[in-house]
Amino acid sequence: MTSGADSGTRRYLVLLEEDSSAAAVSTFASVADLHPASTADVLGTTAANLLSAPDGLLLHELGVAVVTAAADQADALTRAAAGPGPLALVEPERTVHAYAAPAVEPDDAVDETTFTWGLQALGAPESAATGKGIRVAVLDTGVVVDHPDLAGRTLVTNSFVDGEQVDDEHGHGTHCVGTACGPRTPENGRGYGVAHEAEIYAGKVLSNAGSGTDGGILSGIQWAISNRCAVVSMSLGAATQPGDPHSRIFETVASRALRQGTLIVAAAGNESRRAEGHIAPVGHPANCPSILAVGAIDVHRAIADFSCGTVDPGSAVDLAGPGVDVYSSWTLPERYNTISGTSMATPHVAGAAALAAQLHGARGWELWARLSQSARRLPLPSTDVGAGLVQAP
């Protein structure tokens, strides 16, 4: 099993060898007396309800199972994964959270009367692309489905949190949806959405309290892939320590997603305190090499104090986005909010990816490469900002 993970949920992630779901069902039963439900047996839109099944859920399309197991059952699965057969790897499930950053004093260095400073930094208002026809999945605390700024938009939703509807009572998810895909000309205030004509797929993988699990995230990723989303935006994660390995299961899932044309973009994390000399490593799951990890800069193009950095080889920050004092949609009746975090930088990158996907027809690794090649180089270490500040095509 992988160190650095927690097993407080009593659930485990089990990676299957490719195209071995049927054989894995028999192995679960014979080795550990487990009988997880399978998404192969139900419609994709109802699969979320099975995550809380007694023995867990086999995400057929991903080749991953999320099983509820006692310690002896988990040990039996681990032994089976060490030998020949359909099971490849076992990891304890982690608890994840929406990334929140300390409050930052407002900075009026840029006129935001018409567009947010983030849109201006990306050059989004000058881009001919709008994201039209591109599906963007935002996996977070859900979305305010009746937000006035999203009226008339293609909005597909699903909840992967047991007992909670997709409607966002936290605000974090609605803020991220707004930055990635919100309007350029809202009824009130400035434009704040990067891919303002993209099709929005909002998956609730974090509760209204802002927390969730690996199993919910993986369920949301499968949902996004099955709906042919070109981009998945995840402003969430769990802190890591220097030297912690990335999740080999999430890495395999992200690699499989790229092969199927879905790019996963995730927040690097907010655990740094740079003013105190502390740079924290990229968090889970953004530390996976096949997930595009996003750091945050401020309006002056300086690295945000809280933004995690490249501490371990192979767990690198890949790009940077605007992440300090970011204005976007929020819960009602407030409707809007200005907050900070790598959570806010991530949907800027996801929105730019949707624009590039529309303009160039790029998907998967090609889309990643185009974002990296077109990024604006910054006078900052690549360990902090990767290839630089993401730009709209």
Catalytic residue positions, numbered: 140, 172, 343
CA dist., res. 199 & res. 153, Å (int): 7
Residue 98, classed as helix, strand or coil, is strand
Answer yes or no: are the C-beta atoms of 266 and 291 closer than 8 Å: yes
Answer yes or no: are the C-beta atoms of 131 and 354 closer than 8 Å: yes
- Kindly state the greatest CA–CA separation across the chain: 65
Q: What is the DSSP letter of 17?
A: P
Tokens of 82: 């060490």
DSSP β-ladder status, 56-59 and 37-38? parallel
Answer yes or no: are the C-beta atoms of 178 and 141 closer than 8 Å: no
Angle 282-288-294 from CA coordinates, rounded to 5°? 50
Angle 73-33-36 from CA coordinates, rounded to 5°? 95
CA dist., res. 375 & res. 354, Å (int): 15
Count Cα neighbours of 171 within 13 Å in the Cβ-side half-sphere.
Answer: 15
Residue type, 44: G
